[in-house]
Chains A and B, each alone.
Chain A
């Protein structure tokens, strides 16, 4: 026993040496942080390597660093939306970050709470709806890109069944499914969009499995709303097609991806940081569109026919110059009842709380 005692003591002493011995160095290491750079922090819900949602935000951060060399960024990834997020945001604020982007819906109330304690820090929350004197929120009008990608899927499908692997039944996801379906049916009125919920944002295996279920059920094009590339891989493995989301997913499944509906956060991040530095920042609810280039469509895959590309380009032009608005009436719901009258357009408020499916969607929303 004595021997083990000695060994333990030795290990303890070694570890103590390691920790204390380098204590002096630590202060040196921290010093360079005190430069004139503007510190900006990003909080991500998934790992930056998810190839989707968090990856797209991180691409925006990299763009920001490139355009503004006097900005220093810090990231914290895979932060759960419960009790942890409020602490992480607080600690980032107390580390001297001047602008903090919190990029998941569940961070909304934590962001608002922390913002009260740090009035001199600007907080930007993605995908929520609350603002405060030093909190703005921002999101993209993804439905525009969804509609365009729907045109591609509608032209490509042979079976007239398109699978949609859906995340959670919230307005953002429902809006995406509806816009996509309207895009599909604008070129192919016989096609149906079959929806399968995974109740996940980040579960590559489960999301892939859901896509396989849809493919086995007759779908020959797969669209998705999660943060991973699982469904794309399923489509590639089965020799079918897919529509990516968040970021260009073609590198993950080059034989399957027709195009992707993507976020392009970089220019917006530059704009926000610039406005904070100039002192012109105003807390607003920003909903960036294709015209603002926050939303876009990734390059087409080689399998997409030229006339499809032409159709998409035409629709894109119309969306950008305001001739085409995705949710303009008449729009029928699944039961065939007209919900939006001819000549009417859905307001932002209506779109933000979408809780019904349009005609052509094969699926249900848990109520």
Chain B
């Protein structure tokens, strides 16, 4: 019995959905074995995980809260990745967005909300965009790989925010502790009822729909895909590669900056170190798993949020954080690994080389 592997020309839509779901289930079965071997009930662990993330109104709302920055960063990343511009800098652009929004909130505390929030948003978007464009400019001008420059610029952005909150932006009433003063009421994004689900959700969904349209219907969406899949063909067709590199990094950074703005304004209500537990990095995986499709990014972000929110609740059963992280890692590993099934066709061949149909 022989097997042959062949790249698929097209992937049936049913597979696109079924395979990741099956892979996630397989990962959970795999972890269940591990849990059993270490004398833990997989049922209790998975029960706590889903109970924590989806079992109550509160848990559900918090899962949405966790998904918002992932969606926005994931969408931002997808714009650049579509053109095969590897923006690893979502984390830094997130921090720059948070920084610029905070600058507005701290320096113009008396603005009314209708001016304050758009102003914060504009500055957050601008800061993220500039941080992104800088990497694109380096790429165009000096052929600096954006993979390296965006990654390095993350550290600069994170340390810049650290510097501000440990230094000049410390709350004078905060006993020299590393927090800025709390934002004025007008600088806080409205949220739904008692929950922490804020208006950032709406923004995230609007951006997702907008990008869906841009990628599928607009000329620009088509152009960046052509440049991404074949730069030489694009050049031959007279497409402006350098200009588009600037543009995708601008949009990409802007969306990640927006994510930073909604997080400080909607959730934290001030600037502090560590506002992102790696959203910008997780979002890379999100965008990749979603195959850069905006609507899929929304769904995958939500799944990631479930895993992460649930992961902490697993700990209340006495499971160490490392095991919770391992479950998250296993799911990822299986889902990404299962890609081979959607990308390639594996079939059995009989002795004479003809395909066996089953």
B274 at the interface (CB under 8 A from A): yes
> Which residues of A are found within 8 Å of B163, using beta-carbon distances?
366
In contact, B176 and A355 (Cβ under 8 angstroms)? yes
Q: Tell me whether A199 and B62 are in contact in the complex, defined as CB-CB below 8 angstroms, given that A15-B29, A76-B316, A353-B176 are known contacts.
A: no
Residue in chain B with minimal CB distance to A4: B341
> Chain A interface mostly helix, strand, loop or mixed?
helix
Interface string of B42-55 (1 = CB under 8 A from A): 11101100001000
Does the CB pair A12–B22 fall under 8 Å?
A: yes
Is B263 in contact with chain A by the CB < 8 A criterion? yes
Q: Mark A204-225, 1 if CB is under 8 A from B, else 0.
A: 0000000000000000000000
Closest chain-B Cβ to A68's Cβ sits at a distance in Å of: 18
A5 with B18: in contact, given A12-B25, A18-B42 (CB under 8 Å)? yes
A226 to chain B, nearest CB (A): 15
Residue pair B18, A77 in contact (C-beta under 8 Å): no
Residues of B within 8 A of A170 (CB): 166, 176-178
Q: Which residues 299-333 in B have Cβ within 8 Å of A in the complex?
A: 309, 312-313, 315-316, 318, 320-322
A169: B residues at CB distance < 8 A: 166-167
Q: Enumerate B2-59 residues with CB–CB distance to A below 8 Å.
A: 12, 14-15, 18-19, 21-22, 25-26, 28-29, 32, 41-44, 46-47, 52, 56, 58-59
A14 to chain B, nearest CB (A): 7
A354 within 8 A of B: yes
Instruction: Please tell me if A62 contacts chain B, counting CB pairs below 8 Å.
Output: no
Chain B residue nearest in CB terms to A21: B43
Select one of A2, A91, A352 contacting B313, CB under 8 A: A91
The bracket for how many chain A residues form the interface is 35 or more
A1-60 interface (Cβ within 8 A of B)? 1-5, 7-9, 11-12, 14-16, 18-19, 22-23, 25-26, 29-30, 41, 47-48
Q: Which of A81-89, A156-164, A182-190, A268-276 forms part of the interface with chain B? A: A81-89
Q: Does A168 contact B (CB under 8 A)?
A: yes
Q: Which residues of B contact A288 (CB under 8 A)?
A: none
Q: How far is the CA of A340 from the CA of B21 in the complex (A)?
A: 67
**Does A320 make an interface contact (CB < 8 A)?**
no
Residues of A contacting B318 with CB < 8 Å? 74-75
Say whether, besides A8-B22, A81-B272, A129 and B175 are in contact (CB < 8 Å). Answer: yes
| Bound CA span A78–B322, Å | 9
Cα separation A9 to B28 with both chains bound (whole Å): 15
Residue A5 contacts which of B14, B52, B159 (CB distance < 8 angstroms)? Answer: B14
- Residue of B65, B168, B312 ringed by the most chain A CB atoms within 10 A: B312
Residues of B contacting A14 in the complex (Cβ-Cβ under 8 angstroms):
25, 29
Contact between chains at B43 and A84 (CB < 8 Å): no
Q: Are A106 and B321 in contact (CB under 8 A)?
A: no
Q: Name the CB-closest residue of B to A199.
A: B162
A283 at the interface (CB under 8 A from B): no
Give A274 to B163 CA distance when docked, in angstroms. Answer: 42
Which of under 10, 10 to 19, 20 to 34, or 35 or more describes the interface residues of B?
Answer: 35 or more
Kindly state whether residue A258 has any CB partner on chain B within 8 Å: no
The distance from the CB of A171 to the nearest CB of chain B, in whole angstroms, is 5
Judge if B268 is at the interface, Cβ distance under 8 Å: yes
Instruction: Evaluate contact between A106 and B274: CB separation under 8 angstroms.
Output: yes
Closest Cβ of chain B to A192, distance in Å, is 24
Residue contact B312 to A88, C-beta cutoff 8 Å: yes
Interchain CB contact under 8 A, A199 and B272? no
Give the chain A neighbours of B178 by CB distance below 8 A.
168, 170
Q: Quick check: A11 and B312 within 8 Å, CB to CB?
A: no
Q: Is the CB of B312 within 8 A of A352?
A: no
**Chain A contacts for B309, CB-based, 8 A:** 87
Given known contacts A11-B22, A81-B272, A91-B52, is B320 in contact with A47 (CB within 8 Å)?
yes
Whether, in the assembled complex, B358 has its beta carbon less than 8 Å from a beta carbon of chain A, the answer is yes
Query: Does B275 count as interface, using CB distance less than 8 angstroms?
Result: yes
Contacts of B32 in A (CB 8 A): 18
CB distance from B16 to the nearest CB of A (A): 11
Q: In the complex, are the beta carbons of A84 and B25 less than 8 A apart? A: no
CA distance A168 to B163 in the complex (A): 10
Q: Is B167 within 8 A of A366, CB to CB? A: yes
From A22, A80, A353, B274 is in contact (CB under 8 Å) with A80
Q: Could you give, for residues 139-180 of chain B, a 1 whenever the CB lies within 8 Å of some chain A CB and a 0 otherwise?
A: 000000000000000000001001100111000000111110
17 new A-B contacts at CB < 8 Å, known A87-B65, A355-B176: A8-B19, A22-B41, A22-B42, A23-B47, A75-B318, A76-B312, A77-B320, A82-B268, A83-B268, A84-B66, A84-B277, A91-B313, A91-B316, A109-B179, A171-B175, A199-B162, A367-B168
Q: List 5 A-B contacts (CB under 8 A).
A: A22-B43, A76-B321, A77-B320, A83-B66, A171-B176
6 interchain residue pairs of minimum CB distance: A15-B25, A22-B43, A80-B277, A8-B22, A78-B321, A11-B22
Which residues of B approach A to under 8 Å, CB–CB?
12, 14-15, 18-19, 21-22, 25-26, 28-29, 32, 41-44, 46-47, 52, 56, 58-59, 62, 65-66, 159, 162-163, 166-168, 175-179, 196, 263, 267-270, 272-277, 309, 312-313, 315-316, 318, 320-322, 341, 345, 358
